[in-house]
Amino acid sequence: MLNMSGTTTAAAAAAITSQDSDANPRVRAQCAGAIMSLAITTEGKQAAMGAGVTDTLPPLLRDSSSSVVLAAIKAITTVADHPQARRRFSGLVDQLAALKASHKSGLDESAFERAIDKAIATITWKP
């Protein structure tokens, strides 16, 4: 397992976040996926939040690429394990529910719906 220092983790989060508005949807999807991977640890979640992912991930839910949307949902779910992120993402619950009802991803619909359900459950979880 890669053990990055806090400084390295923060730098990685900042670098990844800076690319999430790239014109190429594959880059945007990979950035969201990288955020998800980085945010597996508490340190990674904190670094991601410090890099502003609670502001940069939500717009990806409106992306024209289904792959970007799905990756953003999964990244939001991973980061939302952190209490501060849950609070920041709490306003997304209605948007996620509407997305579930209306979005035709072109991907496995049940997988897409499960990802949204998990995101909502994570965001609304109370200790």
Type of residue found at 27: V
Domains (range + CATH), the chain: 6-124 (1.25.10.10)
Residue 127's pLDDT is: 85
Determine the length of the chain: 127
Report the first-to-last Cα separation within the chain, whole angstroms: 29
pLDDT digits (tens, 9 = 90+) for 8-17: 677 777 777 7
Band of residue 104 on the pLDDT scale cut at 50, 70, 90? low
The two structure tokens encoding residue 10: 């923060």
